[in-house]
Amino acid sequence: MSQFWDTKEQNVEKGTLHPMAVLSPEEIRNLLPDFVEILKGKQKVAIGTHLNPDGDALGSALAVHQFLRQMGIQSEVLCHHEPPPNLRFLPGAEDVHTHPHSQDYDAAVVVDLDALDRLGSLRPLFESIQPLVLIDHHIPVESPGDLRIISTKSPATAAILCDLFFDSDFEITPLIADLLLTGILTDTGCFRYPNTTAHSLKLVASLLEAGASLPRVNEEVYMSRSLASVQIQGHAMSHLKLASEGGIAWVTLTNDVFNSVQATDEDTEGLVNELLAVSTVRIAGLLRESKPGKIRVSLRSRGDFDVAQVASLFGGGGHKNAAGCAFDIDMQSAEEQLVEALIRCLESS
């Protein structure tokens, strides 16, 4: 395993990572006393995670909620958006609040984000709370927080929590094990992405031993879709458009389409990823008309094609392989402008 973590120096030299951004499991484990020390004796802790929360965001936030309970500390999980339908099975998901129920937090923990603007409307609240603990596996772009537990080699924030809390006085209950398994399962794309390492599978094995149920979590997360989301995917797939010899695929979903299957925006979750499953496709886009004259765009790419750059042309942002933006114009104009930019992106990479 050791060579896996030995990229630390190399990454720092490249200037892409904060010096502390790659931690070995042992180094993460060694930060547990700091975590306990900074939160010990607190009365009410705010736990935050990112906009449009995914399995890792909610699984990690709710697991921290449980660990704090074991320390005798009250906490509240806060998120700008409500949990999506397929994550509402997570133990405690019904207690995730979009607005704070208290005003007197004496500490905060944020998980699965490094830039505080990813907290959305909750950013001012979290910025006003001290101390702030940050636990994350993204490449740092900011350095907020009084204690930062960041490891970009970890496949999920939930995996960092495993390294932090395993073999300690904390108990990994079956409930916590399900929460952490959900984080690792979703962030590794069901153990398909390159971040699925031997170490992450060992963590999963330990979670199963602690009582997590892989079949149940898998069924809840991936096989409990609404009829509308399947129907809107069907529409999208049969109306797929292609450019640049199949290198670019995109779909437009108008208000009429949404209405015809009684779908909501939530029902398009993950849809853009499906377009990327076509062998020739390098860049995929989904344009949806959230209301007339308001077009929201999700972009995905493989390899070096940088869709964050394309999104930034239209005032959006994101990561190299996953980004988004919005247009305040009609669908046809948005589509023309976007596709032209995507073609340039494909041809210049």
Q: Which residues bind Mn ion (CB under 5 A)?
A: 56, 112, 156-157, 187
Min dist CB 72 to Mn ion, Å, is: 28
Is the bond into 131 cis (omega within 30 degrees of 0)? yes
Min dist CB 136 to Mn ion, Å, is: 8
CB nearer to Mn ion: pick between 77 and 263? 77
Residue whose beta carbon is closest to Mn ion: 56
Min dist CB 313 to Mn ion, Å, is: 27
Sign, CA dihedral 56-60-63-65, equals negative
> CA separation (Å) from 219 to 185, 199, 330?
12, 24, 38
The greatest distance separating any two alpha carbons of the chain, rounded to the nearest whole angstrom, comes to 61
Cross-strand pairs, 286: 251, 298
Closest CA to 8 of 18, 24, 29, 22: 22
| Burial bucket for residue 274 (CB in 10 Å: 0-12, 13-18, 19+) | middle
Residue 176, CB-side half-sphere exposure with 13 Å CA sphere: 20
CB nearer to Mn ion: pick between 28 and 334? 28
Min dist CB 157 to Mn ion, Å, is: 5
CB 87 within 8 A of CB 53: yes
Min dist CB 60 to Mn ion, Å, is: 7
217-236 b/e with 16+ CB inside 10 Å = b? beebbeeeebebbebbbeeb
Min dist CB 124 to Mn ion, Å, is: 23
Closest CA to 68 of 101, 43, 98: 43
Measured CA to CA, the distance from residue 298 to residue 7 in angstroms comes to 32
CB nearer to Mn ion: pick between 53 and 316? 53
Min dist CB 115 to Mn ion, Å, is: 14
CB nearer to Mn ion: pick between 178 and 187? 187
Closest CA to 235 of 249, 251, 213: 251
CB nearer to Mn ion: pick between 111 and 342? 111
Which tokens is 126 given?
Answer: 């979290």
Min dist CB 58 to Mn ion, Å, is: 10
CB nearer to Mn ion: pick between 92 and 247? 92
